Amino acid sequence: MKHIGITIMLCLCTMMAWAQGRNLELNDVLRGEFTPRNIYGVTPIPGDGEHYSQMNQERTQVIKYSFKTGQQVEVLFDVATARDCPFKRFDSYEYSPDGLTLLIATESESIYRRSFKAVYYLYSLRRNTSGQIRNAVERLSDGGPQQAPVFSPDGSMVAFMRDNNIFLVKLLFGNSESQVTEDGQRNAIINGVPDWVYEEEFSMSRAMEFSADSKMLAFIRYDESKVPTYSFPLFAGASPRYNEYAKYPGAYTYKYPKTGEANSRVEVRTFDIQSKVTRTMQVPLEEGAYIPRIYFTKQPDQLAIVTMNRHQNRLDMYMGNARSTVCKLVLRDESDTYIKEEVLDDIRFYDNNFSFTSEKSGFNHLYWYTLQGNLVKQVTAGNYEVKEFLGYSPADETFYFTSNEESPLRKAVYKVDKKGKKTKLSQQVGVNNALFSSNMKYYLNRYTNLSTPTLITLNDNNGKVLTTLIDNAELKQKLAQYNMPKKEFFSFTTSRGTQLNGWMMKPANFDASKKYPVLQYQYSGPGSQQVQDQFSVSWETYMASQGYIVVCVDGRGTGGRGADFEKQTYQNLGVKEAQDQVAVAEYMGQQPYVDKGRIGIWGWSYGGYMTLMSMSEGTPVFKAGVAVTPVTDWNYYDTVYGERYMRTPQENPDGYKAASAMERADKLSGNLLLIHGMADDNVHFQNAAEYAETLVQKGKQFDMQVYTNRNHSIAGGNTRQHLYTKITNFFNQQLKK
């Protein structure tokens, strides 16, 4: 009876423990055990509004699916069955504009955030009389890896960049290859792909386009010869490994224009494919100004060129003749502060019109212009933001977009018809992201909210759900087995009278009678949003499960609330944002369940910068902080981003001084862990090195972790495990005492 009783007691204890739920483990979170299933690489097939394609998980097939049913239709490409296929897997693919040829990337080698070079292969999808694909693989070029390839509209040619020069392959002439430019030189002249700062800050990876009739090629030429260089050391390391530096370290040197320094000199050139004549477009451009986009319109020879002045508060669009080179100004958008980079992605050209978004009303809205630059209509209006322009259907003159009309924390899919009637297509409240078919008849919707992992559906253009592709039911069941902290929204008003939005996670076993340590997470950069109605299980979730109250608040300067709120920090980065993070700590310290003597703050990149600025604001509310890859002085960051918000150091010396973490280092209060990768091409290690030296000379003690060979993401091998374990241990030591 005793043994039976013990057995029963053990079972009861086990059941009680199970009922209470399992605790989160850091390794499980970092391994992505709680990351929702998703669908990646969905590509609407050009010229076919009924289907999309995906690469399979093994990267061996391109599979065609129905937009209506989500069911597999056929395998378009398979490495196992394709003739003359020299590779066993591939990295990515893209279609020709007519959808009849695949360009398949293999042996991809990353360059910067968006750029890479690869060995490309061609695969025709044209069918014979019996409906079969020819099924043969052809190498695009034998001259070495290629970068940023682009098809001509008729699918007969591919242009690409190699060694800073543009090459042209004519597919109808035995893949004959010719060289378009010859002046390309590393760290001097780049043709057809952007330099570092254009790629990073204007979200570009290619700068060449074919004309609508496939007779002309236009490209941007970057002369970066006068841009100062930056070098960072490389060691043998482990992940990545550089065997050539096993005994003596090496270095990587590239052009990086820091605030106030010289930008690349840019110009637009056109190449007549038949006559082989190269011309330079007559585009008015001030010294140091930018050409962030070029587009050929649907009209042959008509080239749209978008320019921005160095201050980035004036955007001009010119229509130029690719042969005569004459350009005419057709659109100008101006701001008292700056024009956001995101508007560039909303410029789309149709037969006789183009779309454009602007904040000139105080909120980002959609406008419709003729090719001559005449405003046809303002498509959207109101005290909300259009987040993305999704496309236009010429058949019924309908516009599709997402907006945050319901709440700055949420995003929904809408359409506006030719009479101006607006219809909400997404039905669930939270964050919705849509990808439309090429004919705008269907869309794939990704939906999430705080409690709902990613839900992916196929819908028609009236919003009707046709099928569900992923519901993450298994993840929901898995989460139910854990003591999972719950996110909840809150808002408060600072002593300066600003209402701020935030989320909070309390431990699953929260007891209001206890006093908890607080961990503030933030990014805080201009236009960013961390407080949104979307699901995630992150390191912050793990920390909440370990007995922290975790909060995140979007302060002044962040996005979703219109231009007035977002642009309050113009020419004065870091000051108001730091005040707001201090205000968050003060607000939390007033809560009866918070130990105000145990509040920490952390962030990555701009969030790391804000950690330093907040801990040095002059109000000692933070006991500890972790700054990962922070900017420490805007003199060390690039022209496009830094000057967009601050102008140049020469124009705004007081603003740069006030925005410098080093200038207020003597006020640093609390225990600091400073983390940086030495091979960070974005936020240079120089930031951490100079800040650390400043702290040393100020007599300020701190901890520091350096990762060799790591870029801005600080990843590779066991690096992320080491990084987050380091941060976890640091906060536990500082805030759990």
Please say if the pLDDT value at position 644 is more than 70.
Answer: yes
Pairing of strands 365-370, 375-378: antiparallel
Q: Check: CB of residue 551 under 8 Å from CB of residue 520.
A: yes
Is the distance from CB of 64 to CB of 53 less than 8 angstroms? Answer: yes
Is residue 6 over pLDDT 90?
no
- CA pair distance 10, 23, nearest whole angstrom: 20
- Structure confidence by residue, pLDDT tens digits, 135-158: 899 999 999 999 999 999 999 999
Q: Are 418 and 397 in contact (CB under 8 A)?
A: yes
Please write down the HEC assignment for all residues of 570-587. Answer: CCCCCHHHHHHHHHHHHH
Other C-beta atoms closer than 10 Å to the C-beta of 630 total 25
pLDDT band at 15 (very low <50, low <70, confident <90, very high): very low
Q: What is the DSSP string of 225-266?
A: TTSPEEEEEE---SSS--GGGSSS-EEEEEE--BTTSPPPEE
Band (16; pLDDT cuts 50, 70, 90): very low
Give residue-wise pLDDT tens across range 82-114: 999 999 999 999 999 999 999 999 999 999 999
Q: Quick one: tokens of 225?
A: 């010869």
Residue 18 clears pLDDT 60, i.e. is over it: no
475-504 per-position pLDDT tens digit: 999 999 999 999 999 999 999 999 999 999
Span 157-204, pLDDT tens digits: 999 999 999 999 999 878 899 999 999 999 999 999 999 999 999 999
Q: What CA–CA distances, in Å, run from 405 to 23, 430, 614? A: 38, 12, 32
- Whole-number Cα distances in Å, 661 to 156, 486, 569, 626, 628: 54, 34, 16, 14, 14
Give Cα separations from 31 to 58, 472, 547, 603 (angstroms): 19, 17, 21, 20
Q: Which residues contact 505 (CB under 8 A, 6 or more apart)?
A: 485, 486, 487, 488, 540, 541, 544, 549, 550, 551
**How does pLDDT run across 604-621, given as a tens digit for each residue?**
999 999 999 999 999 999
Per-residue pLDDT band at 678 (split at 50, 70, 90): very high
Q: Which residues contact 300 (CB under 8 A, 6 or more apart)?
A: 211, 212, 213, 215
- Which three-class secondary structure state does DSSP give residue 418? coil
Token pair 């719950």: residue:
486
Supply the pLDDT for residue 4: 45
With bands split at pLDDT 50, 70 and 90, how would you rate the model's confidence at 213? Answer: very high
What is the Cα–Cα distance from 124 to 668, expressed in whole angstroms? 62
The two three-digit tokens of residue 138, written as one number: 């052809």
User: Which of 283, 348, 345, 287 has the alpha carbon at shortest distance from 316?
Assistant: 283
pLDDT at 215 over 80: yes
- Residue 357's identity, in one-letter code, is T
Q: What is the CA radius of gyration of the chain?
A: 27
Alpha helices in 375-533 (DSSP H): 473-479
Using the Cα atoms of residue 657, residue 662, residue 666 and residue 671 in order, give the sign of their dihedral: positive
Q: Is the dihedral of CA 230, 236, 239, 241 positive or negative?
A: positive
From the list 287, 290, 322, the residue with the least C-alpha distance to 303 is: 322
The number of angstroms, rounded, from the C-alpha of 595 to the middle of its chain's C-alpha atoms is 36
Instruction: For the beta carbon of residue 370, count every other beta carbon within 10 angstroms.
Output: 12
Count Cα atoms within 13 angstroms, Cβ side, for 641: 25
The pLDDT of 333-353, averaged and rounded, is 97
The whole-number pLDDT of residue 14 equals 41
Q: What is the mean pLDDT of residues 521-546?
A: 98
Q: What percentage of the chain exceeds 90 in pLDDT?
A: 95
How far lies 499's CA from each of 215, 378, 491, 556, 587, in Å? 56, 30, 7, 9, 12
Residue 144's nearest CA partner among 158, 163, 166 is 163
Q: Is the pLDDT of residue 7 over 50?
A: no
What Å distances lie between residue 658 and 135, 509, 646, CA to CA? 63, 43, 11
Whether pLDDT at 12 is above 60: no
Pairing of strands 116-124, 101-110: antiparallel
Cis peptide before 240 (omega within 30 of 0): yes
Q: Mean pLDDT across the stretch 285-311?
A: 97
- What local confidence, expressed as pLDDT, does residue 580 receive? 98
| Cβ contact 64:74 at 8 Å | yes
* Residues 467 and 456: beta-carbon distance below 8 Å: no
Q: How far apart are CA 406 and CA 359, in angstroms?
A: 19
Position with higher pLDDT, 360 vs 135? 360
- Mean residue pLDDT of the chain comes to 95
Q: Do β-strands 549-554 and 516-521 pair in parallel, antiparallel, or remain unpaired?
A: parallel
Average pLDDT over residues 660-674: 98
Q: Say yes or no to pLDDT of 435 above 50.
A: yes
Burial class (CB in 10 A: 0-12, 13-18, 19+), 18: exposed
* pLDDT of 21: 85
Q: How far apart are CA 486 and CA 537, in angstroms?
A: 10
End-to-end CA gap in the chain: 46
pLDDT confidence of residue 646:
98
Calpha distance 108→119 (Å, rounded) = 7
Question: Residue for token digits 């690096």?
Answer: 719
C-alpha distances in Å from residue 38, one per residue of 64, 479, 538, 608: 17, 17, 16, 29
Over residues 588-594, the mean pLDDT reads 98
pLDDT at 398: 98
Q: Look at residue 130 in the predicted model and tell me its pLDDT.
A: 74
Helix then strand then coil, % of the chain, to nearest 5:
20, 35, 45
Report residue 302's pLDDT band, with 50, 70 and 90 as the boundaries.
very high
pLDDT band at 11 (very low <50, low <70, confident <90, very high): very low
Length of the chain in terms of residues written:
737
Give the model confidence (pLDDT) of 240-272 as tens digits: 999 999 999 999 999 999 999 999 999 999 999
Instruction: Give whole-number Cα distances, 284 to 329, 344, 565, in Å.
Output: 9, 19, 33
Q: Identify the CA nearest to 201 among candidates 524, 650, 642.
A: 642
Q: Check pLDDT > 90 for residue 1.
A: no
pLDDT of residue 338: 98
Tell which residue, 107, 71, 62, has the closest CA to residue 86: 107
Return the pLDDT at 135: 86
pTM of the model: 0.95
Q: What DSSP designation does 133 have?
A: B
pLDDT digits (tens, 9 = 90+) for 455-479: 999 999 999 999 999 999 999 999 9
